C-alpha cells in the first residue's frame, strides 16, 4: 500500500462548495414555520431585576411570544449543568438560559422575543422594559481581590473562585543556590474569538416523534446534546444536534451557551422551529473572551544563562461565570515549563470573578500567556547577563536526548506529563538560519538609514496536542463503491474532511474523490467530544486509520472467498481488489460491499459479518507535543510609534504532515492571530464594567496590509503515540507569536528602553517608551 495522499498537498474537498457560495451555515437554513428570536440583554454589569414589562412588546407586529426564565418552568429550571466540573468549583458558576433575579455582566440575556422576522423580534426586544437596581460591579481582576471589593455575585461572599497550584522540585532551594534571580510582572491581554461567523442556533421540535433537532454553530455539538439532554431530563436519543458549516471557532464556540438552551426551550414551548443568529454587537458582549492575566514571577538562573527555576503567582480574570470550568487557567498552569528543563517550578493561579463576559479558551487557550511569560523571562535573563537571547534558550532547553521527558507537571487527568519527541534546539537554529539572523545588523542599519527602528525577536514553545479521550470514526464502503467516513469531530475550517479522506484513501486504495465525510451530526455518529486543543488529527485521524485498515482487511477476506484466491495473492488498487498477476480476476470494493449488504436467502461470503464497514475509537491516552521556534523582525516608525512586522519565520514540528497545505494554513492563521494579540486586539471596559470596544472600529483585528508574508519550515519528528505519527497543528502558530513580536519591539527600542512585559502594545505605548529613552 503506497501513501498516495498522506503527506501530499491535496486541495481541499471542502473548497468547491464553499467557493461557489454553497456553504450551509446555520443562518442559511430556513425551516417551514420558523420564528426568529432576539434577546433583551442586560445593560448594566451588575444589577437586580426588579420588574420586567413586556406588555408593549407582546402586541407589536409579528410577535409570537415573549419569554423570561419563569415561562420555561414547565419543562426546565435552574442553572445549566457545568461542562467541566472542578473541585474548586464547589457550587457551579453557570448561567441560567435566561437570567433570574440578578445579572452579572453587560450582555447577559434576560428575555427573548419570537417573531416572524428578525427585525420584528429586535423591535420588540427593544420595547421590553426592565427595571434593574444597579449593584456595584467589579471590572478588573485585581480590583476583585481588593479588600472591600463588591461581590460579583451577591450570593457569593468571595470573588476568588480558588487557587490552582502546580510545580515540582524545591523552588526555595534552587533560588537559594542560584547565581542570579530576577523578578518581573506581566500584564497579558488577549481579546475575543471573532470568528467571522457569529454564533447561531436553530431548534426544531418534531411533536410527532417527540424529537428536537438543534443546528448550532459549535465546536462541540455532542457536548450541547449531552448537557441539553441532562437539563431537559430527556434521553440523548430524542435530541439530534448538528453543527453544519461553521464559520470559524477559535475556542469560544466550544462552550455550551445559554442561548442554545433558551432557543431550544422556546422552540419546545411554542412548538415551532426557532432561529437565533448572534449579531456582531452581541458577539462582543455574549460570546466568551480571554482578556487578562497578571503575572508576578521570579526566575532563577546560572551565570551562564541557564534557566533553573520559576516561581510566582497569576491573577486570572474568569469573568462572571465559569461555563467551561477552570480549563483556561488550568491550561496556563499545565503549559509550564514550556521547552525549558527547569529544576523547580512553583506556580499559583488565583481564579477571580469579575462582572465581565466569562473567559474561556481562545486559540491557544492560555498557552500563549505561559509562553509569553517564559519567553520574556528568557529575554530578561539575556538582557541581565548581556548574552544573545538564543544562547539562553540553547542553554536552558530540554535536549533531544532527554526525550521522552517527564516535566514534573500533571495532565488534566492527573497523569504525569511527558514530552514525547523533538529537538527544540534544532527548531531554533532552523528559524535563525532561515531568517538570516547573521544578516540582521545590516538590515537594521538599512532601516536606520530610512529613519526606522528595526528589531529582531525570537520565541519558542511547546504545545500539548491530541487531548484524550477520543474522536471516533466509522469507515464504510457503499454498494456504489463510495467510501463514507462518519465522525463526531466537528470542523470550523480546519480541513478535517480532506485530512481524514487522505488517510482512508491510502488505507483502502481508493481515489480521494470517491470519499465523502459526514461529521458533527449526532444523528450520524453516536459519540463525540469537542474540537479543542489541536486534537482532531491525532484522535479522529488515528481512528480513521484504524477503521480503514479493518475495512481493508475485511474486503480482502471477502474477496478471497469471492475470487477463490488466497488473501496473500490479492491487492487493492483504485477501488478494485485484484489477484496479482491474473488479469480479469478482480472484484470491486463496491461489489464486495453489495455482497456484504446481503440478499434474501443467500449467505454472506465466508460467513463474514454484514457491512463492509468498521468503527474505531483510537484512545489518545497520552498527549503528544508539537513545538517550534519563531523569529521575526519588527520595524518601528519612531515618529508615530507604528510597529509593523516586516518578516516572520516559523520553524515548527507537528510530527508527520498529513497535508502540508492545510498545516501551513493552520500555522499562518495562528501566527496572525498572535500578531493581533501583540499589537491590536484589546477588549476595553470602563470602571462600571461597560464594554467600550464593541465594534471593529474600536476593536482592531489584523488586516491584510499590515500582515507580513510568513515563511514556514517544518521538522517532522513522528509522534510515537499514535498510529499515524502526527501531532496537532491548530495552535502552534499562535502560542509563541505575541512573545516573538514583543521580543522584536524590545530589541528595536534598544537597551535604554524599559523591559516590555505586556501586550497588546499600541503605537501610543511605543511612543511613551521612546520618549522615556530620549
Binding footprint of other proteins on the chain (CB under 8 A): 11-12, 14-25, 27-28, 61, 119, 123, 194-198, 245-250, 279-280, 492-495, 661-662, 664-665, 668-673, 695-697, 701-705, 707, 709-710
Alpha helices in 335-366 (DSSP H): none
For the CB of residue 440, give the shortest distance to other proteins in the complex, in Å: 23
For the CB of residue 491, give the shortest distance to other proteins in the complex, in Å: 8
Q: List the strands of the sheet with 47-53, edge to edge.
A: 102-103, 47-53, 129-134
For the CB of residue 191, give the shortest distance to other proteins in the complex, in Å: 11
**Cell numbers 463474514 correspond to what residue?**
608
For the CB of residue 251, give the shortest distance to other proteins in the complex, in Å: 12
Q: Which of 329, 376, 335 is nearest to 352 (CA)?
A: 329
| 276 within 8 A of 118, measured Cβ to Cβ | no
**Cell numbers 477476506 correspond to what residue?**
557
Residue 119 or 415: which CB sits closer to other proteins?
119
Burial 143-180 (b: 16+ CB within 10 A, else e): ebbeeebebbbeeeeebbbbebebbbeebeebbeebee
Q: Which three cell numbers stand for residue 192?
A: 475575543
For the CB of residue 702, give the shortest distance to other proteins in the complex, in Å: 8
For the CB of residue 314, give the shortest distance to other proteins in the complex, in Å: 27
For the CB of residue 278, give the shortest distance to other proteins in the complex, in Å: 11
For the CB of residue 555, give the shortest distance to other proteins in the complex, in Å: 30
Residue 568 or 695: which CB sits closer to other proteins?
695
Residue 24 or 50: which CB sits closer to other proteins?
24
**Structural element, H or E, at residue 454:** strand 453-465
Q: Rounded to whole angstroms, what are the CA distances from 279 to 236, 286, 698?
A: 30, 10, 16
Q: Rounded to whole angstroms, what are the CA distances from 381 to 174, 391, 396, 745?
A: 16, 10, 11, 17
Residue 11 or 597: which CB sits closer to other proteins?
11
For the CB of residue 238, give the shortest distance to other proteins in the complex, in Å: 29
Residue 23 or 606: which CB sits closer to other proteins?
23
Residue 396 or 491: which CB sits closer to other proteins?
491
Q: Which of 293, 273, 130 is nearest to 205 (CA)?
A: 273
| 515 within 8 A of 504, measured Cβ to Cβ | yes
| Side-chain-facing half-sphere of 178: CA atoms under 13 Å | 25
Residue 194 or 272: which CB sits closer to other proteins?
194
Q: Is 283 helix (H, G, I), strand (E, B) or coil?
A: helix
With both helix axes pointing from N to C terminus, report the angle between 367-385 and 734-749 in degrees, rounded to the nearest 10.
30
Residue 279 or 429: which CB sits closer to other proteins?
279
**Structural element, H or E, at residue 549:** helix 542-563
For the CB of residue 384, give the shortest distance to other proteins in the complex, in Å: 34
Residue 163 or 693: which CB sits closer to other proteins?
693
As separate numbers, helices (DSSP H) first and strands (DSSP E) second, the chain gives 20, 29
Q: What CA–CA distance (Å, rounded) separates 131 from 384?
A: 58
| Side-chain-facing half-sphere of 150: CA atoms under 13 Å | 20
| 219 within 8 A of 254, measured Cβ to Cβ | yes
Q: Which of 222, 711, 208 is nearest to 469 (CA)?
A: 222
3-state helix, strand, coil in the chain (%, to 5): 30, 25, 40
| 492 within 8 A of 251, measured Cβ to Cβ | no
For the CB of residue 37, give the shortest distance to other proteins in the complex, in Å: 16
Q: Which of 251, 195, 261 is nearest to 25 (CA)?
A: 195
**Structural element, H or E, at residue 575:** none
For the CB of residue 628, give the shortest distance to other proteins in the complex, in Å: 16
Residue 28 or 619: which CB sits closer to other proteins?
28
Residue 131 or 698: which CB sits closer to other proteins?
698
Residues in the chain, overall count = 774
Q: What CA–CA distance (Å, rounded) separates 311 from 300?
A: 9
For the CB of residue 10, give the shortest distance to other proteins in the complex, in Å: 10
Q: Which three cell numbers stand for residue 458?
A: 525570537
Amino acid at each position: 500500500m503506497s501513501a498516495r495522499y498522506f503527506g501530499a498537498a491535496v486541495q481541499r474537498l471542502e473548497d468547491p462548495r464553499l467557493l461557489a457560495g454553497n456553504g450551509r451555515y446555520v443562518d442559511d437554513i430556513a425551516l417551514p414555520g420558523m420564528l426568529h428570536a432576539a434577546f433583551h440583554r442586560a445593560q448594566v454589569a451588575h444589577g437586580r431585576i426588579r420588574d420586567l414589562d413586556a406588555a408593549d412588546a407582546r402586541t407589536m407586529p409579528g410577535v409570537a411570544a415573549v419569554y423570561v426564565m419563569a415561562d420555561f418552568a414547565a419543562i426546565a429550571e435552574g442553572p445549566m449543568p457545568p461542562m467541566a466540573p472542578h473541585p474548586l468549583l464547589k457550587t457551579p458558576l453557570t448561567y441560567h438560559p435566561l437570567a433570574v433575579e440578578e445579572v452579572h455582566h453587560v450582555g447577559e440575556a434576560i428575555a427573548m422575543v419570537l417573531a416572524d422576522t428578525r427585525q420584528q423580534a429586535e423591535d420588540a426586544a427593544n420595547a421590553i422594559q426592565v427595571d434593574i437596581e444597579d449593584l456595584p460591579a467589579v471590572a478588573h481582576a485585581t480590583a476583585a481581590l481588593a479588600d472591600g471589593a463588591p461581590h460579583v455575585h451577591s450570593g457569593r461572599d468571595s470573588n476568588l473562585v480558588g487557587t490552582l497550584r502546580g510545580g515540582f522540585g524545591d523552588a526555595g532551594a534552587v533560588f537559594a543556590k542560584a547565581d542570579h534571580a530576577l523578578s518581573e510582572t506581566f500584564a497579558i491581554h488577549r481579546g475575543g474569538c471573532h470568528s467571522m461567523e457569529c454564533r447561531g442556533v436553530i431548534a426544531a421540535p418534531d411533536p410527532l416523534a417527540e424529537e428536537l433537532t438543534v443546528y448550532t454553530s459549535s465546536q462541540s455539538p455532542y457536548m450541547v446534546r449531552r448537557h441539553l439532554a441532562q437539563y431537559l431530563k430527556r434521553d440523548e436519543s430524542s435530541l439530534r444536534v448538528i453543527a453544519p458549516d461553521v464559520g470559524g471557532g477559535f475556542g469560544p464556540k466550544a462552550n455550551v451557551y445559554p442561548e442554545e438552551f433558551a432557543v431550544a426551550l422556546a422552540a419546545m414551548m411554542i412548538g415551532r422551529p426557532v432561529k437565533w443568529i448572534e449579531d456582531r454587537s452581541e458577539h462582543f458582549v455574549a460570546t466568551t473572551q480571554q482578556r487578562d492575566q497578571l503575572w508576578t514571577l521570579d526566575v532563577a538562573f546560572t551565570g551562564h544563562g541557564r534557566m533553573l527555576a520559576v516561581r510566582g503567582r497569576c491573577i486570572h480574570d474568569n469573568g462572571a461565570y465559569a461555563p467551561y470550568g477552570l480549563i483556561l487557567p488550568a491550561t496556563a498552569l499545565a503549559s509550564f515549563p514550556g521547552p525549558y528543563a527547569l529544576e523547580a517550578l512553583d506556580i499559583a493561579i488565583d481564579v477571580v470573578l469579575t462582572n465581565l463576559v466569562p473567559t474561556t479558551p481562545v486559540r491557544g487557550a492560555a498557552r500563549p500567556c505561559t509562553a509569553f511569560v517564559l519567553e520574556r523571562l528568557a529575554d530578561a535573563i539575556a538582557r541581565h547577563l548581556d548574552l544573545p537571547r538564543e544562547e539562553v534558550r540553547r542553554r536552558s532547553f530540554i535536549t533531544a536526548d532527554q526525550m521522552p521527558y517527564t516535566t514534573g507537571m500533571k495532565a488534566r487527568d492527573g497523569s504525569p506529563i511527558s514530552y514525547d519527541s523533538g529537538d527544540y534546539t534544532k527548531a531554533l537554529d532552523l528559524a535563525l538560519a532561515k531568517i538570516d539572523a547573521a544578516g540582521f545588523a545590516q538590515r537594521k542599519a538599512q532601516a536606520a538609514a530610512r529613519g526606522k527602528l528595526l528589531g529582531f525577536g525570537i520565541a519558542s514553545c511547546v504545545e500539548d496536542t491530541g487531548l484524550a479521550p477520543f474522536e471516533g470514526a466509522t469507515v464504510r464502503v457503499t454498494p456504489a463503491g463510495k467510501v463514507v467516513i462518519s465522525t463526531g469531530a466537528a470542523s470550523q475550517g480546519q480541513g478535517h474532511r480532506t485530512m481524514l479522506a487522505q488517510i482512508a484513501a491510502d488505507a483502502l486504495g481508493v481515489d480521494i474523490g470517491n470519499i465523502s465525510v459526514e461529521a458533527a451530526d449526532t444523528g450520524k455518529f453516536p459519540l463525540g467530544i469537542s474540537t479543542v486543543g489541536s486534537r482532531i488529527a491525532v484522535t479522529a485521524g488515528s481512528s480513521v486509520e484504524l477503521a480503514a485498515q479493518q475495512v481493508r482487511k475485511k474486503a480482502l477476506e471477502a474477496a478471497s472467498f469471492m475470487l477463490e484466491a488466497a488473501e496473500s495473492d490479492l491487492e487493492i488498487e483504485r477501488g478494485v481488489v485484484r489477484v496479482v498477476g491474473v488479469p480479469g480476476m478482480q472484484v470491486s470494493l463496491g461489489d464486495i460491499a453489495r455482497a456484504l449488504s446481503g440478499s434474501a436467502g443467500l449467505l454472506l461470503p465466508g460467513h463474514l459479518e454484514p457491512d463492509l464497514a468498521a468503527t474505531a475509537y483510537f484512545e489518545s491516552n497520552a498527549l503528544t507535543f508539537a513545538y517550534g521556534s519563531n523569529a521575526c523582525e519588527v520595524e518601528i516608525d519612531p515618529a508615530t510609534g507604528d510597529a509593523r512586522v516586516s518578516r516572520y519565520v516559523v520553524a515548527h514540528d507537528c510530527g508527520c504532515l498529513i497535508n502540508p497545505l492545510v498545516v501551513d494554513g493552520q500555522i499562518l492563521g495562528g501566527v496572525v492571530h498572535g500578531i493581533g494579540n501583540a499589537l491590536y486586539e484589546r477588549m476595553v471596559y470602563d470602571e462600571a464594567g461597560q464594554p467600550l470596544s464593541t465594534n471593529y472600529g474600536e476593536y482592531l483585528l489584523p488586516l491584510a496590509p499590515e500582515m507580513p508574508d510568513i515563511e514556514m519550515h517544518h521538522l517532522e519528528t513522528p509522534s510515537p503515540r499514535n498510529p499515524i505519527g502526527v501531532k496537532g497543528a491548530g495552535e502552534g502558530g499562535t502560542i509563541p507569536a505575541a512573545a516573538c513580536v514583543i521580543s522584536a519591539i524590545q530589541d528595536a527600542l534598544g537597551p535604554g528602553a524599559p523591559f516590555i512585559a505586556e501586550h497588546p502594545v499600541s503605537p501610543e505605548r511605543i511612543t511613551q517608551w521612546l520618549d522615556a529613552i530620549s
